[in-house]
Amino acid sequence: MIRPFLQHLRQRAPGAEIIVADGGSSDGTDRLAAGFCDQLVESDRGRAMQMNAGARAAYGDILWFVHVDAEVPKRCLGEIERIMDNPKVAGGYFRIRLPRGLIYRLTDSFAHYAGIAVRMRCGDHGLFCRRTVFLDIGGFPEVPLMEDVEFFRRLYRRGRVTYSDKRILVNPRRYEAIGRTRLTLAYGFIAMLYVFGVPLSTLASIYKRFCCEAR
């Protein structure tokens, strides 16, 4: 998966500095990524630690965090440049799209507007921000779950956060493995509990039970 993704990213984002942050994988990521990225950095396992390690290795003034199973839109760099050209903007994100199906439309349409209302965005949206702001807010917090949401909320407190209507296509493999309805409801339930202040350790336990394996 890593090599086709990097080829796709290089095609859609020519000129970008591409950094792969490997959290001790055993699937040959280092070998597969060789020659298809600008840097391969090693870090401890954990999404927050991997993204922070990648950010430390980057040279650019704008940092963009993309999941390996995503398909980024055409002219994505131009869109980021357009958004970040406003000095009042601290960061932004893309809208997402899942394949056809009613439950998927609920996820990528209704959830978009609900997320705006409660100021929540996950890593699937391809979060990006200024390096200076990233450093000021301490990067991604190393927490049991919702590190991307916590990061997004910190980002929101530092300035304007806006979005692009261009869509990142999200791989539905987890939805298909767990069940579309089950996973959508589980995500919604976890998000609701997060808004009401339920501890992240509790949310991590719920996520592990309902979102990690089919029953």
The whole-number pLDDT of residue 215 equals: 35
Residue 213 has pLDDT above 60, yes or no: no
Residue 83 has pLDDT above 50, yes or no: yes
3-state SS class at 37: coil
Which of 58, 83, 77 is closest to 134 using CA atoms?
Answer: 58
User: By mean pLDDT, which of 76-80, 82-86, 106-110, 197-201 is the weakest?
Assistant: 106-110
Residues contacting residue 199 through CB under 8 Å, at least 6 positions apart: none
How much of the chain exceeds pLDDT 90, in percent?
A: 67
Residue 203 has pLDDT above 80, yes or no: yes
Contact present, 203 and 193 (Cβ < 8 Å): yes
Which of 76, 105, 98, 84 is closest to 160 using CA atoms?
Answer: 84
The whole-number pLDDT of residue 20 equals: 96
The whole-number pLDDT of residue 179 equals: 87
Residue 99 has pLDDT above 60, yes or no: yes
The whole-number pLDDT of residue 214 equals: 43
Residue 23 has pLDDT above 90, yes or no: no
Q: Which pTM was predicted?
A: 0.92
* CA-based max dimension of the chain: 48
Q: How many CB atoms lie within 10 A of CB 97?
A: 18
At 114-147, the pLDDT tens digits run 888 889 999 999 999 999 999 999 999 999 999 9
| Cα 164 from chain centroid (whole Å) | 14
